[in-house]
Amino acid sequence: MFRTLGVIGFLAFLVGLVSVFRPLKALGIKSRQVGILVLVGGLVLMVVAGSSTEKGTPAQSTQSAQVEQAQTSQLQATAQTTQEATKTNTPSAATPSPSPPPPPPKKDYLEVGHATTIGIWEIAALGKPSFYRRIGDEFLGESADSGYLFALVPIRVKNTSKKTDSLSFAIWTMKDDEGNEYDIQTMADMYLDEDEQLDVTQVPPGAARNGYLVFQVKEDVSELFLELSTSRGRAKWKVYPVRKED
């Protein structure tokens, strides 16, 4: 509409301008005064049309800006939704749980006070050894070699069968932390009191016998292990040093 009004004003301005110098009687303009009026009217129409067009421009700009802002907000919302969906669907990296400590190595021996069963016999080393430089008395006894001590280990043997039997063919050995092996002192127990000697012959069913095994070991040993070997099985105890609770 405003464009049409501007065109009419422009044509009127041209007609008026021409009529100022030469009246166009064919258009009804018979004098210069009328031409001036037509010229002024054309100018007025052009001004009105121009003013209206300028007034419409900010509105259009504002509308365009609103549309762009709406599109931008929609894009941002879409991007945020996509990002949240990605976070939801992406598995979070699991925090690694601390590895459990490795189990302690399995011991190949028993502690003193713990019994084991070999065949019909329940056998236990009852405590740590007692160490002596000499066993017996001053008249009838035996002294340990230089740098050695007698080690007396308390033992308990029980017959779990229903008949009298003897613990035969049993081999007792003492070993230290340096790999040295010590055999039982079979003749040394004669210097012990009768109730301290270990007698494993003709043990009645269900009966138990207590006594000491005698070994001669180095006096500076750090550890001692008692081992028993029979035709029906083996056993091993750590007899020195012993745990505090034992």
Is residue 51 domain-shared with residue 116, that is, in the same domain?
A: no
Amino acid at 13: F
Is residue 53 domain-shared with residue 145, that is, in the same domain?
A: no
Residue 27, pLDDT score: 62
**120 occurs within a structural domain:** yes
Residue 183, pLDDT score: 97
Structural domain of 218: 110-240
Tokens standing for residue 224: 């001692």
Q: Which of 42, 35, 46 is nearest to 12 (CA)?
A: 42
CATH of the domain at 148: 2.60.40.1240
| Average pLDDT, rounded, for the chain | 81
What are the tens digits of pLDDT across the range 178-210? 999 999 998 888 999 999 999 999 999 999 999
**102 occurs within a structural domain:** no
Is residue 117 domain-shared with residue 48, that is, in the same domain?
A: no
**46 occurs within a structural domain:** yes
Residue 22, pLDDT score: 66
**pTM (2 decimals)?**
0.58
Q: Which of 227, 78, 221 is nearest to 155 (CA)?
A: 227
- End position of a domain, from candidates 57, 80, 95: 57
- End position of a domain, from candidates 12, 30, 57: 57
Is residue 221 domain-shared with residue 126, that is, in the same domain?
A: yes
Residue 168 has pLDDT above 70, yes or no: yes
Name the β-bridge partners of 172: 228
DSSP 3-state assignment of 189? Answer: helix
- Which runs of consecutive H residues, i.e. helices, occur in the chain? 2-21, 32-89
DSSP state of 167: -
Are 235 and 140 in contact, with CB atoms under 8 Å apart? no
Helix H, strand E, coil C: the string for 205-231 is CCCEEEEEEEEEEECCCCCEEEEEEEC
What are the tens digits of pLDDT across the range 48-106? 666 655 555 555 556 666 656 766 676 566 666 656 655 555 555 567 778 888 887 88
Is residue 116 domain-shared with residue 45, that is, in the same domain?
A: no
Is residue 21 domain-shared with residue 139, that is, in the same domain?
A: no
Q: How many domains does the chain have?
A: 2
Buried b (16+ CB within 10 A) or exposed e, 223-236: ebbbebebeeeebb
